């Protein structure tokens, strides 16, 4: 993350308060509390001795570190008020309150966790006062299946295997599988990342597509895998996945919003030419049927053929 | 550069918070090294104004006091600047720790982290990750759209904005002047609700359809802001979540699970096909077409025609 002067000032101000109450604080502990590396903290500690209420006659902060502990020899220099943390800024209150409220609405969350979130939110609202008002202008809802969520949560806590029936929309198919859940995450919808015993691979399942679930007595034994990095997006096609080209008219532009793609070129009619990669292109036949006249598969030709074929077969039932 | 500025802001903050009486601009200029070196009066004034704005952004309340001799004084009074005492137990601290990790948007992620730093400096217990609750849960709020941050600030400050917007089925974008009320994230997508001045009505905009930059407009809101802004309900209606009637379909046995889950009635047939009744709302035709030869629409007639049209277009293509 880029270090700008405002963020740094924010941290320095809190650091002054924090250090004032904790003489001889350990560098590694302070760094952890502030979510920075020890090196970043040391560099902050080099700025602080340049700061102070110099209008009183040169009272700079006499803060020093040997790399392990931090010492402050004139904590009285900042006056009592700087010893209390600064009130929350509007964005700070908003960021915490909106996120805490959103998580608290997750169906299936453990009651004790939900209670802790609601208590913390109420205390924070009281402390933020009118600063909290702007937080109502931002809101987030996570969607989840409460029962499935609670079962997966319990299975993870107790390290147990789970049997699920799962709906794959791409194939319009229900499958039964046993999975060893690794973690739950929510990005709009809620998902479980798990080791799938059926495919012997890591898979991500959306909870609202789990149609039935049973927590087994068998212990979960997922092989050690690095959790997926979600910052790059939920769907991350592999470099070797087959390429699909789709052309859509103006009414089909939503495809670019819903499907992660490599490129989307503007077309003269206001449409798009979208190039994407997917492990199993046959699942896009459904997209072609949904689009109707609003778009068509350009390649691979076999996929375009199978969509045409499916449409003809379907039309037969309507008498032509 | 970032260090020099942070140092200057720190000094100004410590002076204003430590003062027992309002300090004049002259006094401040004389005690902060960077201001002494600022050069001309005008350069100093510009710098000073910007610095005060920056400190306000951090949450500081700086009061301006006129003195008897016409001088302006500045002070950050303790009672308006202190974080009130708030005692959080370890479970509550862990809850806020989780909340702070939820934002993927840089500005809010930074703000959430900064709030935690203030709370920790104020004595909030630190929780070791291993013993924290929520250990297996990772909620994430995406906000990849460039329009998110300027709109968030405009909603906060109640400032009108101007942007180019392309509706879902429009070939071109059109300029919109909007009084922004609230942003809401639903199913992973961000929406803005506000007063559209050009259309003289309230509207919901999807952030991913805003093209180009969001510009602020001067002036105040002209339309009243409703007490409760309901983005989700408008979007849900548009997405066909609200039924306007019933549809009857035939579905091949074993297929179309999500349709079965929504069905209000289901009669299993012996010919390999089942008959279902479904709530019928906006967008159902497109969804039913996806099932291709596994589904036949019986009624209503307009839904049947919609699906047939889509299939014909694909068959020809």
Q: What residue segments make up the domains of chain A, in order of their start? A: 5-83, 90-137, 146-231, 243-316
Residues of A in contact with B54 (CB under 8 A): 5-6, 9
Per the model's pLDDT, the better-predicted residue between A232 and B262 turns out to be B262
| pLDDT 10s digits, B133-178 | 565 788 888 887 899 999 999 999 999 999 999 887 777 889 999 9
Kindly determine whether residue B188 and residue A14, on different chains, have CB atoms separated by under 8 Å.
no
Is the model more confident about A6 or about B243?
A6
Distance between CA atoms of residues B121 and A224, nearest Å: 37
pLDDT at res. A48: 87
CATH assignment of B2-81, given 3.40.50, 1.10.10, 2.40.30, 1.10.3470? 1.10.10
At B35-83, the pLDDT tens digits run: 877 778 888 889 999 999 999 988 899 999 887 777 889 999 888 888 8
Q: Yes or no: say if B248 and B299 are a contact pair by the CB < 8 Å rule.
A: yes
- Contact between residue B281 and residue B244 where contact means Cβ atoms under 8 Å apart: yes
Task: Tell me what pLDDT residue B106 has.
Answer: 82
Spatial CA neighbour of B98 closest among B65, B64, B136, B62: B136
Quickly tell me which residue has 């301006």 as its tokens: B64
Stretches in chain A below the pLDDT threshold 70 = 1-3, 54-58, 79-83, 231-233, 320
Contact of A242 with A278, CB cutoff 8 Å: yes
In sequence order, the β-bridge partners of residue B210 are B165
With a CB cutoff of 8 Å and minimum separation 6, the contacts of A237 are A260, A276, A277, A278, A279
Distance CA B86, CA A246 (A): 56
CATH of domain B148-238: 2.30.30
State residue A48 phi and psi, 5-degree precision: -55, -40
Do residues B32 and B47 make contact, with C-beta atoms less than 8 angstroms apart? no
Return d(Cα B177, Cα B182) in angstroms, integer: 15
Q: What is the pTM assigned to this prediction?
A: 0.83
Please give the pLDDT value at position B177. 96
- Could you state, in order of their start, the residue ranges of all structural domains in chain B? 2-81, 90-126, 148-238, 245-316
Rounded Cα–Cα distance for residues A194 and A107 (Å)? 20
- Per-residue pLDDT, averaged over B202-206, amounts to 91
Cβ–Cβ below 8 Å for B181 and A137:
yes
Angstrom distances, CA of residue B116 to CA of A14, A158, B305: 10, 30, 57
> Is the CB of B171 less than 8 angstroms away from the CB of A211?
no
Q: Which fold has domain A146-231?
A: SH3 type barrels. (2.30.30)
Residue A162 near residue A155, CB atoms below 8 Å: yes
Domains B2-81 and B148-238 fall in the same CATH topology = no
The phi, psi pair for A186, rounded to 5°, reads -125, 120
Determine whether A171 is exposed, middle or buried from the number of CB atoms within 10 Å of its CB (0-12, 13-18, 19+): middle
Return d(Cα A123, Cα B89) in angstroms, integer: 11
**Which pLDDT belongs to residue B133?**
57
Across the interface, whether the CB atoms of B311 and A119 are under 8 A apart is answered no
Considering only the top CATH level, what class is A5-83? mainly alpha
pLDDT category of residue B130 using cuts at 50, 70 and 90: very low
Of A20, A24, A105, A37, nearest to A69 by C-alpha is: A24
Instruction: Check: CB of residue A14 under 8 Å from CB of residue B121.
Output: yes
Which residues 156-175 of B are in CB contact (within 8 Å) with A? 156, 166, 168-172
Beta bridge partners of residue B186, listed in sequence order = A141, B189
Residues of A in contact with B83 (CB under 8 A): 84-88, 127
Taking residues B21-42, report their average pLDDT: 84
Q: What is the pLDDT of residue A82?
A: 63
Strand partners, B193: B182, B204
Q: Which residues contact A25 (CB under 8 A, 6 or more apart)?
A: A18, A19, A69, A70
The span from the CA of A293 to the CA of B256, in Å, is 23
Average pLDDT, integer, range B28-37: 82
Question: Is any Cβ of chain A less than 8 angstroms from the Cβ of B21?
Answer: no
Q: Taking CB atoms and an 8 Å limit, are A55 and B23 in contact across chains?
A: yes
């Amino acid at each position: 993350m880029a270090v700008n002067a405002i963020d740094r000032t924010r941290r320095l101000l809190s650091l002054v308060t924090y250090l004032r109450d904790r003489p001889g604080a350990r560098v590694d502990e302070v760094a952890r509390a502030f979510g920075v590396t020890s090196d970043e903290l040391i560099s902050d500690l080099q700025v602080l001795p340049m700061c102070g209420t110099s209008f009183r006659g040169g009272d700079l902060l006499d803060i020093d570190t040997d790399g392990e502990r931090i010492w402050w020899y004139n904590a009285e220099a900042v006056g009592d008020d700087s010893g209390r943390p600064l009130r929350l800024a509007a964005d700070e209150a908003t960021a915490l309150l909106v996120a805490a409220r959103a998580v608290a609405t997750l169906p299936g969350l453990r009651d004790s966790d939900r209670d802790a979130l609601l208590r913390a939110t109420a205390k924070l609202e009281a402390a933020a006062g009118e600063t909290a008002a702007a937080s109502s202008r931002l809101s987030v809802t996570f969607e989840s299946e409460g029962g499935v969520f609670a079962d997966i949560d319990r299975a993870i806590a107790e390290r147990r295997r789970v049997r699920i029936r799962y709906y794959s929309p791409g194939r319009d198919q229900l499958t039964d599988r046993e999975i060893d859940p690794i973690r739950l995450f929510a990005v709009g919808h809620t998902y479980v990342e798990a080791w799938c015993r059926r495919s012997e691979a890591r898979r991500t399942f959306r909870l609202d597509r789990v149609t039935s679930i049973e927590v087994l007595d068998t212990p979960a034994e997922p092989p050690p895998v690095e959790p997926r990095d979600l910052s790059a997006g939920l769907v991350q096609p592999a470099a070797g996945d087959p390429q699909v080209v789709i052309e859509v008219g103006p009414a089909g532009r939503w495809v670019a919003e819903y499907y992660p793609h490599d490129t989307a070129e503007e077309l003269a009619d206001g449409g798009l030419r979208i190039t994407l990669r997917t492990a199993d292109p046959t699942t896009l036949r459904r997209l072609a049927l949904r689009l109707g006249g609003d778009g068509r598969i350009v390649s691979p030709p076999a996929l375009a053929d199978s969509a045409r074929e499916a449409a003809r077969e379907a039309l037969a039932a309507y008498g032509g | 550069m970032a260090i020099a500025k942070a140092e200057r802001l720190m000094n100004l903050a410590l002076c204003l918070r430590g003062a027992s009486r309002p300090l004049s601009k002259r006094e401040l200029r004389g005690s902060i090294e960077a201001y002494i070196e600022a050069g001309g009066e005008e350069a100093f004034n510009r710098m000073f104004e910007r610095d005060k704005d920056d400190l306000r952004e951090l949450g500081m309340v700086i009061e301006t006091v006129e003195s008897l001799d016409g001088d302006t004084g500045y002070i950050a009074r303790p009672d308006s600047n202190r974080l009130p005492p708030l005692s959080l137990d370890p479970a509550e601290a862990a809850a806020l720790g989780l909340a702070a990790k939820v934002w993927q948007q840089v500005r809010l992620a930074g703000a959430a982290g900064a709030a935690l730093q203030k709370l920790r400096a104020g004595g909030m217990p630190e929780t070791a990750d291993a013993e924290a609750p929520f250990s297996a849960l990772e909620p994430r709020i995406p906000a990849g759209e460039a329009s998110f941050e300027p709109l968030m600030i405009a909603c906060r400050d109640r400032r009108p904005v101007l942007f180019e917007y392309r509706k879902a089925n429009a070939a071109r974008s059109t300029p919109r002047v909007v009084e922004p009320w609230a942003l809401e994230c639903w199913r992973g997508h961000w929406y803005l609700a506000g007063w559209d001045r050009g259309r003289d009505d309230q509207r919901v905009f999807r952030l991913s359809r805003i093209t180009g930059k969001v510009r602020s407009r001067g002036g105040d809101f002209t339309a009243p802001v409703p007490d409760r802004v309901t983005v989700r309900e408008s979007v849900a209606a548009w997405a066909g979540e609200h039924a306007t009637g019933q549809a009857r379909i035939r579905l091949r046995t074993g297929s179309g699970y999500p349709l079965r889950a929504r069905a209000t009635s289901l009669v299993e047939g012996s010919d390999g096909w089942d008959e279902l009744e479904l709530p019928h709302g906006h967008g159902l035709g497109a969804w039913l077409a996806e099932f291709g030869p596994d589904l036949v629409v019986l009624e209503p007639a307009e839904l049947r025609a919609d699906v047939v049209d889509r299939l014909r277009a694909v068959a020809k293509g």
